[in-house]
Amino acid sequence: MATKTELGPIARERKYAQDKQVDEGLIPRKVPIVCSTRFGIALILHFCNFIMMAQNVIMSITIVAMVNSTSPQSQLNGSPEGLPVDSFGDLNKAPKSLPAKGSILGGQFAIWGKWGLPHEQNRLYSIALSGMLLGCFTAILISGFIIDTLGWPFVFYVFGGVGFVYCLIWFVVIYDDPVSHPWISVSEKEYIISSLKQQVRSSKQPLPIKAMLRSLPIWSICLCSFSHQWLVNTLTVYIPTYISSVYHVNIRDNGLLSALPFIFAYITGVVGGYLANFLLTKNFRLITVRKLATILGNLPSSVLIVSLPYLSSSYVTATAFLTLSCGLSTLCQSGIYVNALDIAPRHSSFLMGASRAFSGMAPVIVPTVSGFLLSQDPEFGWRNVFLLLFAINLAGVIFYFIFGEADVQDWAKERKLTRL
């Protein structure tokens, strides 16, 4: 009897160990994000945004060289007078950034729909989107040296060649989902698939276009994204021109001064994603984190820019204000730019592309309106440009603060049809 009594607990422990092994076999082991395939996907998308933004903003510094090289009043390296007054009118005719970024970023959201885990979204998106800031920094910094040594046409040759090489890497490395990826580990594949099973997906149901058009949360995302893109494009397009015309800095130093804000913004964008995740772990409401990130990424930046015309005597102070403005603006990456995944996860890629296409009107309108204001009033032109920016930015933030939401909308939930 003593032997049976002793064998009872031993048998139960063995059975418990066997059951635990079975359960561990059914539940995939958690795979850390670092050195994982999904982290590699984030880096590839990081460089995708790097190339996309670099090719969009190289005009922001080459336009100065192109205008000066064709103007009889100044030369390539800049005269003490800086840009001629007539050149502000030429900025209105300069090529503008196209809203093709909407389709690119919408496609990235489609990738994250099959690769991004819910609890890793802020970090992965921040890593990917921060490539846009690094692209701004690199393009503006290197463009100054290339223009000064080789001439402005080589700026397009260099970045165009880099983009071509990147396309080849994209075709080899990127796959639609973990199941079709040939190099992903089995444990990570099972971990991603099991983690995404609870997310609702259905490709058979049509898009609820009418409900989307009537949705105030969607309009708040679109309008606030538009106002933020107005801020971002004013910074990227007109920082070199502003420094060159107001402080009479030559083209090489202009590139250095103009690039400083974007490296700070690059760091802030990555840190902001981790900070958003940290706040969520401290039981902050999701909508609170989204609105906090959006407000901090808009209002302080626009206030700092509005104050620039009153600091014309100190280019060091102006550069510091521009650096802070660019850095804080990237906090929106954890706000409005991922909010579509909260309110409609099944349609997030479509909504991301649509909101980016809507906000993509800002890069088209900004050079037109700003160029007109600068050409009409050379003395107070910059003040008018920055005041208009602040007004548009404030309106977008107020609308998002009132109507923004983070709960899944009724029209975005899966509907099951019952047959009678």
pLDDT of residue 312: 63
pLDDT of residue 30: 60
pLDDT of residue 84: 41
What domains can be seen in the chain, in order of their start residue? Answer: 35-68+103-202 (no CATH), 213-414 (1.20.1250.20)
pLDDT of residue 126: 77
3-state secondary structure the chain: CHHHHHHHHHHHHHHHHHHHHHHHHHCCCCCCCCCCHHHHHHHHHHHHHHHHHHHHHCHHHHHHHHHHHHCCCCCCCCCCCCCCCCHHHHHCCCCCCCCCHHHHHHHHHHHHHHHCCHHHHHHHHHHHHHHHHHHHHHHHHHHHHHHHHCCCHHHHHHHHHHHHHHHHHHHHHCCCCCCCCCCCCHHHHHHHHHHHCCCCCCCCCCCCHHHHHCCHHHHHHHHHHHHHHHHHHHHHHHHHHHHHHHHCCCHHHHHHHHHHHHHHHHHHHHHHHHHHHHHHHCCCCHHHHHHHHHHHHHHHHHHHHHCHHHHCCCHHHHHHHHHHHHHHHHHHHHCCCCHHHHHCHHHHHHHHHHHHHHHCHHHHHHHHHHHHHHHHCCCCHHHHHHHHHHHHHHHHHHHHHHHCCCCCCHHHCCCCCCCC
Distance CA 199, CA 97 (A): 35
pLDDT of residue 11: 52
pLDDT of residue 182: 85
pLDDT of residue 193: 79
Closest by CA position to 289, among listed 339, 230, 253, 327: 339
For tokens 């160029």, the residue is 371
pLDDT of residue 251: 53
> CB under 8 Å to 180, separation ≥6 — which residues?
none
Indicate the pTM of the whole model.
0.70
The half-sphere exposure of 118 on its side-chain side, counting CA atoms within 13 A, is 13
Mean pLDDT of each 10-residue bin along the chain, 420 residues long:
46 48 47 70 87 79 68 42 42 46 64 72 77 81 81 88 89 84 83 68 70 94 94 80 73 64 82 86 90 94 89 75 87 87 82 84 88 82 92 96 92 62
How confident is the model over 1-57, as pLDDT tens digits?
A: 444 444 454 554 454 444 444 344 444 556 555 667 888 888 888 888 888 888 877
CB 411 within 8 A of CB 215: yes
